[in-house]
Copies of this chain bind each other. A is one copy, B any other.
Amino acid sequence: MASKKISMAVIKRLPRYHRYLNYLLELGIKRVSSKELSTRMGITASQIRQDLNCFGGFGQQGYGYNVESLYTEIGNILGINKTFNCIIVGAGNMGQALANYGNFEKRGFKIIGVFDVSPDIIGRKIKDLEVRSLNEIDDFVVLNKVDIAMLCVPYRETAALADRIAKLGVRGLWNFSPMDLKIPYDVIVENVHLSDSLMVLGYKLNDRFPRE
């Protein structure tokens, strides 16, 4: 599962394939051709075959793909069989939403700690985790080999906190602040820029349904 040079365009489609295959699996469908998947997903069959072949020949001529094994394969490529230790930094609504969202755990993202600064929140339980003081974060990260920090703190605090956490050896940051983090450590940052997404929606709406 090491690095060749798969393009990001391909990688970003993998979770979507994974979702669709999971859905087919739930429907009890055993095999699927690139053509059928193409119709369902609105992607060309060519692209599907091209994408899958980046990782190996999962299909069989004349038959198509076995849904279950393809699902498993893509899961493996995405590494959902491996576990990541995750912490949530900032237990506001967003942090709580993430903590309560069970789907991450299923995919190998285990939330082992939640941190906040507010005395009102510290000590409260979210699911089975007690919210800890941010003061404890440094020791916690080192002691528990935290892989990923999910940053749900206010804008102003994000940059400094990201830096502090990265310095401790966390390798991935999942950033919910509307800023692009620049960090002088070897860290992978994945952004969830909600307002960017909403603004794109706004643009499309104005474009499709012009006003005035």
Contacts and interface: CB of A to CB of B under 8 A. Distances in A.
Interface centre among A1, A147, A197, A207 (most CB of B within 10 A): A207
A78 B202 contact: yes
Interface in A187-203: 188, 190, 192-203
A206 interface: yes
Nearest to A147: B205
A107 B199 contact: yes
Given A93-B94, A94-B94, 10 more contacts: A11-B200, A15-B193, A18-B199, A93-B93, A94-B97, A107-B202, A108-B202, A171-B205, A172-B201, A174-B197
Interface stretch (A44-52, A61-69, A98-106, A134-142): A98-106
Interface of A: 1-3, 11-12, 14-16, 18-19, 41, 77-80, 82, 84, 92-94, 96-98, 100-101, 103-104, 107-109, 147-148, 171-172, 174, 178-180, 186, 188, 190, 192-212
Nearest to A150: B198
Contacts of A84: 202, 205
A11 B198 CA distance: 12
Contacts of A77: 203
Given A14-B199, A92-B97, A201-B174, A1 B194 contact: no
